[in-house]
Structure 1
């Protein structure tokens, strides 16, 4: 079965009772996929351009909705299944998630649930942000500190801390920094993007409350996502063209932005692994263990 879809479909939305629910039509598409799946999910604050990167991974100019206003366009989680461009016999499943941090949602746990689902479902998690990786950007990734409360691993010892087991099935982590304008330098010396990320995640020494609060999210990121990568994207185009990015010709988009985007896509294609469960089991779209354990986790 070749799962190529011409457009994304809603995978998980919110019911009238406020709970997340799986769309059966999307589940039926997944159940037809007998191949191993590479699952790439993108998360991040709303209005940061997440959908553009996912469209590029799908090899399309458009597909996932790009909002041109301050309103968040993506609700819940949307799914797009295509044949993997570099791995034969493998399906690439792209998940575009609802923007985090929208104060109009009302339910503070909603964002945490969306983030946790993206982590559980994906083999590669892309965190999309804007500007720089400063302390505010790290604190905006507060959802990672709540993973141990939301996700439990079955253990013979009910009182054991199972967070150490997460890395066995958690995804690799890519931090995509959009609209990056700084020089990549650390202590006056040129640095790589990965060195920039690791410097931002470096822990402080001390036991004061402020140091503990500073270190906590960084420690969680380091512990839960030992495989980390960073990409810094310059502004893609002139500000007046940002609202129509998906319809612009390549000549109207920054060549450096296109270069980084192509590098990002090639890295995802070549380095993202197939989705596996904690016991090493390779996941296919029809795997009932995924449907039971993941899709219905919060439903």
Structure 2
């Protein structure tokens, strides 16, 4: 049964889904996941990851159509630890739920665990249907170098018991990739002609034969993991002056610069047309399936194992089939119990057919 938004905390405000325990151990918040597991509708799952303090929470609140919710913060201190979740009735797709995943910032030197970012990024990537990577400025070599977790993706995910070094399988199971460039000030002009944000992304991802492996490999990995038809770029200009930036969380979209408004509107519109997460080409993921995915992946990461997507999908499918079977049997027995015997055999057969229809 679909969980009502009227009495569900995960629909009211962001909740901690994955907390960080001692020694950066990932822990599932069972009460939150239990609420999500009762959502019996297809889920469009959007995760946003970012380098340290580049304003991803503002984008999350825009997607949630809320002035506040995910903490923006106004200091250098990270306000998000682990992964937080906020469920909303999808604003444009009927009978669907939008699940927003806000990950802790990457590249925080105080964590003291070089693998922690990889675990957070891998988990968010495996759970979502669309991954938004939020960063500040141009998508230059420095920015590409910081995407080390993308380069390591083939080592951090298994499929059918093995890591996919050639990246062919990962293309089918990884989410769509959206690059959000914040405070972008470059003019999008190439050879005297104006280019689009998507063209800028593709140019930035081109390999150069004369450059070394450290230059080309990250670009190659992004191209292979996230095929061109599933890559998108949005270049956000500065939303306003210093006063605007200082109270961004309390301002309406129309209070910001017109150029920022235009990009933000296009970004939200693009995210809202994305399809639900699926088990490969199978049934769209609902809340119960999302819960199983989350528990299975977190359990693997806690053991220090590499998550196996194929095994996890099989487990989710089995759990979902058993859940649906149980619901059907309960409905069948409930309807059959309504029959007052004795009943003519022909009427009993007709009633049986109606119940099974």
TM-score by length of 1: 0.93
- Flag the structure with larger Rg: 2
1:257 counterpart residue number:
260
* Residue 213 (structure 1) aligned with residue 203 (structure 2): no
Cα distance, 1:75 vs structure 2: 0.8
Corresponding residue of 1:181: 185
2:171 aligns with 167
Mean Cα deviation higher: 16-25 or 33-42: 16-25
Structure 1's 197 and 243: CA in aligned 2 closer, same or farther, altered over 3 A? same
| DSSP 3-state at the match of 1:163 | coil
CA RMSD of aligned residues (A): 1.7
1-structure distance, mates of 2:254, 2:163? 59
Listed as ranges, the gaps of 5+ residues in structure 1 are none
CA distance in 1, matches of 2:57, 2:64: 11
Structure 2 SS opposite 1:101: coil
Moved more, 9-18 or 242-251: 242-251
* Greater RCO structure (CA 8 Å; 6+ sep): 1
**Alignment of structure 1 residues 39-118 onto 2, 5 Å:** 39-118=45-124
Match of 1:9 in 2: 15
Is the alpha carbon distance of 1:267 and 1:73 closer, same or farther for their aligned partners in structure 2, counting shifts above 3 Å? same
Q: Taking structure 1 as reference, are residues 212 and 17 closer, same or farther at Cα in structure 2, changes over 3 Å only?
A: closer
Which ranges of structure 2 fall in alignment gaps of 5 or more residues? 6-10, 303-357
- Alpha-carbon distance, 1:2 to partner: 4.7
Structure having the higher helix fraction is 2
- Render the CA deviation track for 1:9-65: whole Å, top value 9, x for unaligned: 001011124211111121111111111111000001121000000000011011000
Q: Hey, what does 2:233 align to over in structure 1?
A: 230
7-16 or 160-169, larger mean C-alpha shift? 160-169
Partner of 1:198: 202
In the superposition, relative to structure 1, how do residues 153 and 251 fare at CA in structure 2: closer, same or farther (>3 Å)? closer
Inter-CA distance 223–3: structure 2 relative to 1 (3 Å threshold): farther
User: Which position in structure 1 is the counterpart of 2:147?
Assistant: 141
Sort the Cα spacing of 1:65 and 1:219 in 2 relative to 1 into closer, same or farther, 3 A.
same
**Per-residue deviation, 1:278:** 3.2
Q: CA deviation at 1:235?
A: 0.4
Tell me the CA shift for residue 162 of structure 1: 6.7
1:188 is displaced (CA, Å) by 2.5
Structure 2 length-normalised TM: 0.78
Task: Report the CA distance shift for 1:260/1:219 in structure 2 as closer, same or farther (over 3 A).
Answer: same
